[in-house]
Amino acid sequence: MADLLGVAVLGAGHMGADHVRRLDGVVSGARVAAVADPDAARAKEAVAGIDGATVHTDPEAALDAPGVEAVLIASPGPAHEDALLAAFARGLPVLCEKPMVPDSAGALRVMEAELRHGRRLAQVGFMRRYDAEYRRLKALLDDGRLGRPLMLHCVHRNVSSPPGFTSAMLIDSSVSHEIDAARWLLGQELTAVTVVRPRVSAGAPQGVQDPQFVLFETEGGALVDVEVFVNCGFGYQVRCEAVCEAGAARVGDDHGPLVTARGSAGTDVPRDYLVRFADAYDREVQAWVDATRRGEVTGPTVWDGYAASAVAEAGVGALESGTRTVVELAPRPGLYAGTGR
């Protein structure tokens, strides 16, 4: 066990428990050293059967637990800033689930703390960058054979939203994935947002604007539209079509064999992100463990986390005001030059 990277996992909910399972049994080179959750029973359940993992209700106690060399943050977004700052104060490398920090002012504070440290410590959990289909799309766009990208048409549908999910969370939680994917695929910052409100679905919880149609403009003049519909009831669907000057490419349609029987043909639709992006999470966490063991930090940066928060904040402003809203971004520090997007 001594040569395995000892990881503290903060938060043992849906994502945290899945990452504990992944660190313990899927990726190589790591072990779960500690788990923290204010709900002790949940933390205990997550580590059941895992040797040597300590259980805590205080996240900082988990960071100080014996054998902890790195941190995976899977607590709710509002808890991320404190967790990141506590990890940085201890010089611990971090994989932080999205959103890195939900508000851009908090994200800037995290960026300033990493800059004071003088080198990267955190990778942000935008796992679409590790999805095989998205990587193929990125390679196609980068090699230029389709010409310059003009538009991205994106779809993000969930079966249902968790309790307490608000209209703003459709943008700053769900669409945050499209925000990062668009910045990464196009290699451009998003500069303005408009949100249009379609008729509300009968399946939406009381008071929640679901679905929404979100339109981003980029610094290079491309447009990115996102249909986000988080209580669609029929399955988890994430699609992205890039329309370029000399062709178009679409990902997100292929989820298994097309079965023809009894006079109809069909394919499975995944029930949620844990199924659709299982391979992407595995690759993301493996890449983080491998880089950390080499003493490196790779993948989406704190700048990417900050930019996503700033764009999402503008998006929530656009939803509330009903008007086109410009994204305000701080200058990009040299530490993040040439990384991420």
Ligand X SMILES: NC(=O)c1ccc[n+]([C@@H]2O[C@H](COP(=O)([O-])OP(=O)(O)OC[C@H]3O[C@@H](n4cnc5c(N)ncnc54)[C@H](O)[C@@H]3O)[C@@H](O)[C@H]2O)c1
Residues that bind ligand X (CB under 6 A): 10-16, 36-39, 42, 59, 74-77, 79, 97-98, 125, 127, 173, 273
Cα separations (Å) of 300 from 50, 95, 303, 341? 29, 10, 8, 8
Q: Is the Cβ of residue 125 or residue 340 nearer to ligand X in the bound state? A: 125
Cα gap 240→249, rounded to integer Å: 8
CB of 132 to ligand X, least distance (A): 16
Q: Is the Cβ of residue 125 or residue 252 nearer to ligand X in the bound state? A: 125
Q: Is the Cβ of residue 216 or residue 277 nearer to ligand X in the bound state? A: 277
Cα separations (Å) of 327 from 54, 149, 216, 226, 317? 43, 21, 10, 17, 10
CB of 188 to ligand X, least distance (A): 22
Q: Is the Cβ of residue 14 or residue 148 nearer to ligand X in the bound state? A: 14
CB of 181 to ligand X, least distance (A): 11
CB of 281 to ligand X, least distance (A): 7
Distance of CA 261 to the CA centre of its chain: 37
Side-chain half-sphere CA neighbours of 13 within 13 A = 9
Q: Is the Cβ of residue 14 or residue 90 nearer to ligand X in the bound state? A: 14
CB of 3 to ligand X, least distance (A): 27
The CB-nearest residue to ligand X is 13
Cα gap 308→306, rounded to integer Å: 5
Cα gap 80→32, rounded to integer Å: 19
Cα gap 210→158, rounded to integer Å: 11
- Helix, strand, coil share (%) of the chain residues, nearest 5: 40, 25, 40
Q: Is the Cβ of residue 114 or residue 131 nearer to ligand X in the bound state? A: 131
CB of 11 to ligand X, least distance (A): 3
